Amino acid sequence: MLTSLSIKNFALIEQLEMNFSSQFSIITGETGAGKSILLGALGLVLGKRADLTSLKDKEQKCVIEAHFQIDKYNLNDFFTENDLDYEPMTIIRREILPSGKSRAFVNDSPVNLNELQDLGEYLLDIHSQHQTQELSNEAYQIEILDAISNHQNILIEYRQHLSKYKSVRNELKKLKDDKENLSKEADYNAFLLEELLAANLKEGEQVDLETELEKLSNVEFIKENLDKSLAIANEEQIGIIAAMKEVKGSLHKIAGISGEFNELSERVSSVLIEFDDVVSELNMQTEKLVNDPEKLEFVNQKLQAIYNLQKKHNVATVEELLVIQNDLDSKVVLADDLDGNIKKLEIQLQELVAILDNQALQISDNRKKAVPVLTEQITGILSQLGMPNARFQFDINSIENYLPSGKDEIQLLFSANKGTDFGLLKKVASGGEMSRIMLAVKSILANYSKLPTIIFDEIDTGVSGEIAHKMGDIMKGMSGQMQVFAITHLPQIAAKGHQHYKVSKSVQGDNTISELKLLSRDERIVEIAEMLSGKNISESALTHANQLLNL
């Protein structure tokens, strides 16, 4: 419940601090005195957006602070989920700086407006004439039935499964789209992959093939030069080997004379050994050298195939072709994996559909059971409010789509008088009837809802006399379950409050200031008398006001 409100530098209010009780509180005042300013300040506390027009003094910051006693409302989980410090007496502060920047705090922890709005939904319901039109909204009608049905646990589970259903459905659609795209390319990808596999590519083979091609294309030329090299090396009289052996022998003879000659002798011996090895290799290469036109053709064709593939795929090496080959192979494997994953998701989706259908049916059945309970209670209250012949009919129809609240579509039909047909509530109910119906609904919901505080902003518009008395009694009755405020122009309702606050406006120098004051009993008599007869208060008005307070 709202225990206190502090406002500084907001609209016409310079400074205001007010404490509130847990009972039925009345707020009255002349039109334009500042009642809407109070609601505006509370709106900021609940997360509405602000601007510089909210500042009375543009050079000073605006501060609005509200204290809420929340220990009876099981809000610990909300504070834990939003990483906020839980306090039984929770303080919400909103600041608007001269720069236009806005800040919000819950128990001195900074919060964003979304978090503040979410918390506000658990704390306070400001009900204005405009919000009476919510009754025509199907979503609100469903909320009413759900409150009476008391099946919040099923709704929570249903929404969790619905969220999973949507996630799986979206994932399934993505996989099917991926499969369709792959299918469009599948034949071409398969052709490209088969072409690369047929080439039997290996890393580094292009260089080997190009080298072999060069050899096979120049067999005669290579053989001629190899033979010539061998002849020069092996000639008995003037060959290189014979000459080197002769050098080796001469140096060997003088090797013992000095270390220098010995080193030269060893070096010549090493060169001779190396040259012998070269000659052996020349002999081996000569023996291996064969004029093989078939092999030449094979190597030529293999290289041409590689060159063609490189040109097709716009690459320069076999290694790059192998990367492309692996990529194409992965796409083929992916297509196979997609089929398996799609099948798994389809099974999962079917299971979720079965669960959702079952839960939606439970929710719908509970609502249908709640309809007679709700209509009986509403018509009973409306009978007290001058609508003895009011009748309601809920048409609940199941649809195929999954909605956040189940699979029900609801139409609320209404008839105000005997002998008249049912029609859509929003089309056949007058403004005064809608106000009374909404009050009846709020009164019923007070028995089911854990909302701590409700503020009725001139919900009594369009009624008077005995009906106003009854409306006041209903609001006073609601205050047994929750904190109730009523902003009203009707003396019959004003007299029902446990506390009575008056909003007034005055001119002080060049400033216009709004104030909120808790009235004493004598002050209440004067205020109610003024509501009855105007500024010129008569004795009969004072007597009537006193009588109203004693009822």
Strand pairing report for 406-415 and 102-106: unpaired
**DSSP codes of every residue in 336-382:** HHHHHHHHHHHHHHHHHHHHHHHHHHHHHHHHHHHHHHHHHHHHHHH
Same domain assignment for residues 213 and 327: yes
Local structure of 164: helix, strand or coil: helix
pLDDT tens digits, one per residue of 470-519: 999 999 999 988 999 999 989 999 999 999 999 888 877 777 788 889 99
Q: What is the mean pLDDT of the chain?
A: 86
| Cα–Cα separations (whole angstroms), residue 111 to 52, 115, 128, 408, 540 | 20, 6, 27, 36, 54
pLDDT value at 241 more than 90: no
Q: HSE on the CB side for 269, CA within 13 Å?
A: 11
Q: What is the mean pLDDT of residues 41-58?
A: 84
Angle between helical axes of 465-478 and 318-384 (0-180°, round to 10): 130
Contact by Cβ (8 Å): 405, 140: no
Same domain assignment for residues 79 and 19: yes
Identify which of 238-247, 457-466, 515-524 has the greatest average pLDDT: 515-524
pLDDT value at 529 more than 80: yes
| Long-range interactions of 237-242: CB distance < 8 A, separation 24+ | 240/275, 241/272, 241/275, 241/276, 241/279
Which of 294, 321, 336 marks a domain boundary? 336
Q: What is the dihedral of CA 193, 199, 204, 207, to 10 degrees?
A: -130
Q: What is the mean pLDDT of residues 443-472?
A: 84
End-to-end CA distance of the chain: 27
Of 8-22, 167-181, 219-233, 421-435, least confident by mean pLDDT is 219-233
Question: What pLDDT is stored for residue 79 in this prediction?
Answer: 92
Q: Domain residues for 22?
A: 1-129+450-519
Contact by Cβ (8 Å): 503, 38: yes
Question: What pLDDT is stored for residue 222 in this prediction?
Answer: 75
Question: What pLDDT is stored for residue 248 in this prediction?
Answer: 80
Helix (H) / strand (E) element for 41: namely helix 35-45
Question: What pLDDT is stored for residue 335 in this prediction?
Answer: 65
Under the banding of pLDDT at 50, 70 and 90, the label for residue 239 is: confident
Q: Closest Cα partner for 464 from 388, 391, 418, 532?
A: 532
| Cα–Cα separations (whole angstroms), residue 102 to 254, 527, 544 | 105, 37, 48
Say how far apart CA 443 and CA 508 lie, in whole Å: 42
Going by the DSSP 8-state scheme, the letter that residue 48 receives in this structure is -
Residue 414, strand partner residues: 392, 423
Contact by Cβ (8 Å): 460, 488: yes
Contact by Cβ (8 Å): 172, 345: yes
| Two structure tokens written together for 303 | 């290289």
Question: What pLDDT is stored for residue 325 in this prediction?
Answer: 82
* Percent of the chain with pLDDT strictly greater than 70: 96
Say how far apart CA 406 and CA 140 lie, in whole Å: 14
Same domain assignment for residues 224 and 106: no
- In-domain check, residue 412: no
CATH number of the domain to which 85 belongs: 3.40.50.300
Q: What is the mean pLDDT of residues 128-132?
A: 69
Q: What sections of 124-204 are H helices per DSSP?
A: 138-149, 152-198
Under the banding of pLDDT at 50, 70 and 90, the label for residue 13 is: confident
Same domain assignment for residues 112 and 193: no
Question: What pLDDT is stored for residue 265 in this prediction?
Answer: 83
- Strand arrangement, sheet containing 391-403: 391-403, 406-415, 423-424
Say how far apart CA 367 and CA 396 lie, in whole Å: 9
Q: What is the mean pLDDT of residues 266-289?
A: 84
Question: What pLDDT is stored for residue 160 in this prediction?
Answer: 95
Same domain assignment for residues 12 and 80: yes
Question: What pLDDT is stored for residue 358 in this prediction?
Answer: 96
Same domain assignment for residues 302 and 183: yes
pLDDT tens digits, one per residue of 183-199: 666 667 777 777 888 88
Say how far apart CA 426 and CA 438 lie, in whole Å: 12
Q: What is the mean pLDDT of residues 232-245?
A: 77
Q: Identify which has the larger pLDDT, 238 or 457.
A: 457
Maximum CA pair distance of the chain?
158
Same domain assignment for residues 213 and 110: no
Local structure of 448: helix, strand or coil: coil
Under the banding of pLDDT at 50, 70 and 90, the label for residue 292 is: low
- In-domain check, residue 543: no
Same domain assignment for residues 108 and 204: no
Say how far apart CA 135 and CA 424 lie, in whole Å: 11
Q: Identify which has the larger pLDDT, 22 or 31.
A: 22
The total number of residues written for the chain in this structure? 551
Contact by Cβ (8 Å): 242, 235: yes
Under the banding of pLDDT at 50, 70 and 90, the label for residue 221 is: confident
Say how far apart CA 380 and CA 147 lie, in whole Å: 18
Same domain assignment for residues 124 and 205: no
Question: What pLDDT is stored for residue 204 in this prediction?
Answer: 79
Sequence-distant (6+) residues with CB within 8 A of 368 are 396
pLDDT value at 5 more than 90: yes
Q: What sections of 218-292 are H helices per DSSP?
A: 219-234, 240-254, 259-288
Say how far apart CA 283 and CA 280 lie, in whole Å: 5
Which of 309, 336, 363 marks a domain boundary? 336
Contact by Cβ (8 Å): 26, 11: no
pLDDT value at 130 more than 90: no
Q: Closest Cα partner for 377 from 147, 124, 155?
A: 147
Q: Identify which has the larger pLDDT, 450 or 150.
A: 150
- In-domain check, residue 538: no
Q: What is the mean pLDDT of residues 292-312?
A: 80
Same domain assignment for residues 184 and 322: yes
* Percent of the chain with pLDDT strictly greater than 90: 37
Same domain assignment for residues 122 and 230: no
Under the banding of pLDDT at 50, 70 and 90, the label for residue 73 is: confident
- In-domain check, residue 418: no
Q: What is the mean pLDDT of residues 6-30?
A: 89
- In-domain check, residue 88: yes
Sequence-distant (6+) residues with CB within 8 A of 490 are 460, 463, 464, 468, 472, 531
Domain total for the chain? 2
- In-domain check, residue 169: no
Q: Identify which has the larger pLDDT, 392 or 508.
A: 392
- In-domain check, residue 472: yes
Q: Identify which has the larger pLDDT, 301 or 489.
A: 489
- In-domain check, residue 404: no
Same domain assignment for residues 199 and 330: yes
Under the banding of pLDDT at 50, 70 and 90, the label for residue 331 is: low
Which of 336, 356, 391 marks a domain boundary? 336
Number of Cβ within 10 Å of residue 495's Cβ equals 25
| Two structure tokens written together for 284 | 């081996």
Question: What pLDDT is stored for residue 249 in this prediction?
Answer: 81
Local structure of 547: helix, strand or coil: helix
